[in-house]
Amino acid sequence: MIMVRQGPIGLLAVLVTVICLLVYLGTTAKNAYSLPSGVSGAFSSSRGGAQGASNPAAKVYGKDYRGRSKPADINRVTNSTLGFTKIFVVGLPERSDKRDAIALSAALTGFDVEWIDGVRGTDIPDKAVPFGVDRKKLMETNLGSWRGHMNAVRRMVEEGIESALIMEDDMDWDVRLKAQLEMIATGSRKLMTDLPETYFPSHPKTAGSGTPASPYGNDWDVLWLGHCGEPFPEDLDENKGLAEDDPARLAMQRKYTISNDPSVPPRAQVKGLADFAAHPERTRFVHHTAAPICTFAYALSQRGAQKVLFDLSVDRLAGPFDNALAGLCRRAVGAWPELARRRAASAAAPGSGSGPAEKKLWSEEELRGITTDRGDRGLDAKCLSVTPPVFFHHKKKGLLSGDSDIQTVGDGGIREKGTTENIVWSARNNLRNMMLGLPMESQY
């Protein structure tokens, strides 16, 4: 073995090289990404909180972030209500622990919330239970959860609120939520603008010119941002038999794809019902709603709120709130094949003119036939979802029994560290880091 003695300068050079390499590897492992969209800079600007602390304009969270999207009106999603008129959080008044956490998380992320008191099912008299509910089969906690959500929906209708984000009180989100919403708004606009007139049987499609009233676009009723999981509509049992070139199938399977999204967990660790293995790593979709499970967080337009108040309370209630809301959306997209067939038949009939483009609304007779056959009753809900979702249920550190106010869980166990599935830079787990300007901690 030949020993080579290094001089002081040589040793210093080697040491500096090693340190630089370690620093590079440490910062690159969790922050190496690229986005094709205009907001890629918003995600990549914070390679740690220290940079954001010294340069507030570079932070991807907080009230200082104003967005980087084009057209610029999409950046309204970065305002204090995330581009909606209001943000409501539904929760039992006695769960002060959840209210404290939501208040701090929202303030540090840069948005304002208003509380809607949750309701206990035992406080709802039989006379107030909607038609169709078997109280013996529906848990009292589910009944209370339904009423809490409906109180938020009713407030929208009473006050004429144009749009509202409604979330449950144990929600978590990525600290880069506003940048995520920029891309989601771009996607929701695209999907609704490109949806053919055929699938607007009960109201005319909004003209595409001009600035939309909402940064998320026009014509949507429900925007489902947080759920336990859902399939894509073309994979629902009632749609699997549609031919590949069926117009309705082609319409419902359209997706706005967000590629190389660093706020999406590694594919093997994403939770949900879609086949994530069939798609590239770090991919998120904005798509037509199929049948989500859980109502973690969802937005309603004023028209959507009216439909929900009618379908899930005044007229009837078909099961727990999340299943009933999913049913409203599922029935709507499930009617698309029949809408397409009837529109094609109408266009081919003698004296129909140049085709379906001339016809903006369905006749009462046609609409009655569709709604009778498919059970949609003309509500024609326009629902969009985000998969993987950007809001998810946080399991806080402490008693496991605190995870749910609907079901009994935990057996007295203790959780040492909070966790949230599907969220990379958890706001709940980065509260201290956001306050102190420290680097963000990744869950993956």
For residues 373 and 444, give the distance between their C-alpha atoms in angstroms, rounded to a whole number: 47
β partners of residue 284: 258
Confidence (pLDDT) at 187 = 98
Confidence (pLDDT) at 102 = 98
Confidence tier at 351 by pLDDT (50, 70, 90): low
Look over the chain and give the mean of its residue pLDDT values, rounded to a whole number.
84
Confidence tier at 245 by pLDDT (50, 70, 90): very high
Predicted confidence (pLDDT) per residue in 4-38, tens digit: 334 544 444 444 444 443 333 333 333 322 333 43
Tell me what the mean pLDDT of segment 75-104 comes to: 98
The dihedral built from the CA positions of residue 18, 20, 22 and 24, taken in this order, carries a sign that is negative
Helix (H) or strand (E) holding 255: strand 255-258
For residues 319 and 295, give the distance between their C-alpha atoms in angstroms, rounded to a whole number: 13
- More reliable by pLDDT, 288 or 352: 288
Indicate the domain borders of the chain: 86-387
User: Which of 145-154, 205-214, 326-335 shows the lowest per-residue confidence on average (mean pLDDT)?
Assistant: 205-214
Tell me what the mean pLDDT of segment 303-312 comes to: 98
CB 230 within 8 A of CB 323: no
For residues 151 and 153, give the distance between their C-alpha atoms in angstroms, rounded to a whole number: 5
DSSP state letters, 217-234: -SS-SEEEEE-SB---GG
Confidence (pLDDT) at 267 = 94
Residues contacting 275, CB < 8 A, separation 6+: none
Tell me what the mean pLDDT of segment 127-156 comes to: 95
Confidence (pLDDT) at 394 = 97
Percent of the chain with pLDDT over 70: 77
Confidence tier at 416 by pLDDT (50, 70, 90): confident
Helix (H, G, I), strand (E, B) or coil at 336: helix
Give which of 178, 62, 166 is closest to 109, Cα–Cα.
62
Peptide bond into 71 cis (omega under 30): yes
CB 366 within 8 A of CB 415: no
Parallel, antiparallel or unpaired: strands 86-91 and 114-117: parallel
pTM: 0.83
For residues 323 and 82, give the distance between their C-alpha atoms in angstroms, rounded to a whole number: 26
Tell me what the mean pLDDT of segment 265-279 comes to: 94
Q: How many helices (H) and strands (E) does the chain have?
A: 12, 13
Predicted confidence (pLDDT) per residue in 355-408, tens digit: 444 445 556 555 555 554 444 667 999 999 999 999 999 998 877 766 665 555
For residues 11 and 153, give the distance between their C-alpha atoms in angstroms, rounded to a whole number: 69
Tokens of 173: 């989100």
Tokens of 309: 């108040």
Q: What is the SS3 string spanning 295-308?
A: CCEEEEEHHHHHHH
Confidence (pLDDT) at 215 = 98
For residues 239 and 113, give the distance between their C-alpha atoms in angstroms, rounded to a whole number: 38
For residues 191 and 252, give the distance between their C-alpha atoms in angstroms, rounded to a whole number: 10
Question: Does residue 247 carry a pLDDT above 80?
Answer: yes
